Amino acid sequence: MIAMRQSPNIIVTGTPGVGKTTHCDGLADKLGLRHISVNQVVKDKGCHEGWDEDFQSWIVDEDKLLDAIEDEVKQGGCLIDWHACDLFPRSWIDLVVVLRVDSTTLYDRLKARNYAEAKLQENLDSEIMEVLLQEARDSYDDEIVIELTSNTSDEMETNVDRIEEWVKQWKADNN
Ligand code: DAT
């Protein structure tokens, strides 16, 4: 299906700490795409039903969130940065990048963020059990889901280059 946008929409997903924000910043700079930090939108536009103390995160109102980003996403050229991906309509999305990281590296990154032990463990389990990769594969066509490792800055550079090539190809195919 030919999308009506001139630039692709890319979900960058993965367990907290894998490097979504870092990748999106790099990609936004390099490719002129717009970084939509869903966390920020949820907070700024009040797309939630309050704060969950146990999970230390917002209880997201998905309908409000989708309404809040719909106009922007439909223009194309968005990097959607979020630790979930199954809520976005398939017609909005051209590529789903699932970032992965080794447990020891993730542990260090989350520890550096002062995550409480329970939340840290929950996120480590989620990474080990490939929860986000599975969610992406369940929610989108296999051809548009790619898994990339994000342990080192070298890997990050390679990932950004690879996504840049993909975006060029997408534009050549769709414009
Ligand atoms: P996320 O947005 O997925 O929660 P982040 O981009 O904030 O993750 O990254 C968490 C921390 O890890 C941050 O200090 C940057 C670092 N980091 C992320 N990806 C990395 C990589 N590929 N190589 C080295 N450090 C990385």
Mean pLDDT to the nearest integer, 23-39:
97
Task: Tell me, letter by letter, the H, E, C secondary structure of 8-70.
Answer: CCEEEECCCCCCHHHHHHHHHHHHCCEEEEHHHHHHHCCCEEEEECCCCEEEECHHHHHHHHH
What backbone torsions phi and psi does residue 36 show, to the nearest 5 degrees? -105, 105
Q: Does the pLDDT at position 30 exceed 80?
A: yes
Entry pTM: 0.96
Q: Does the pLDDT at position 97 exceed 60?
A: yes
Q: Which pLDDT does position 55 carry in this prediction?
A: 74
Determine if residue 20 is labeled as part of a ligand binding site: yes
In this prediction, residue 54 has a pLDDT band, given cuts at 50, 70 and 90, of confident
pLDDT per residue as tens digits for the range 98-125: 999 999 999 999 999 999 898 999 999 9
Site to probe by mutation for ligand 1, drawn from 20, 39, 82, 109 as the one with most ligand atoms within 8 Å of Cβ, is 109
Residue 110 Cα to ligand 1 middle (Å)? 10
Q: Does residue 58 or residue 11 have the better pLDDT? A: 11
Residue 2 Cα to ligand 1 middle (Å)? 33
Q: Which pLDDT does position 3 carry in this prediction?
A: 54
Residue 101 Cα to ligand 1 middle (Å)? 10
Mean pLDDT to the nearest integer, 1-21:
90
Listed in sequence order, the residues at least 6 apart from 172 whose beta carbon sits closer than 8 Å to its beta carbon are none
Q: Which pLDDT does position 67 carry in this prediction?
A: 98
Nearest CA to ligand 1 atom 6: 19
Tell whether ligand 1 has an atom less than 6 A from the beta carbon of residue 25.
no
Report the mean per-residue pLDDT for the chain.
Answer: 95
Nearest CA to ligand 1 atom 20: 19
Q: Does the pLDDT at position 1 exceed 90?
A: no
Least confident window among 3-7, 71-75, 91-95, 145-149: 3-7
Q: Which pLDDT does position 24 carry in this prediction?
A: 98
Q: Which pLDDT does position 57 carry in this prediction?
A: 82
CA distance linking residue 8 with residue 166, whole number of Å = 10
Determine if residue 22 is labeled as part of a ligand binding site: yes
Q: Does the pLDDT at position 85 exceed 90?
A: yes
Determine if residue 100 is labeled as part of a ligand binding site: no
Q: Which neighbouring-strand residues pair with 78?
A: 34
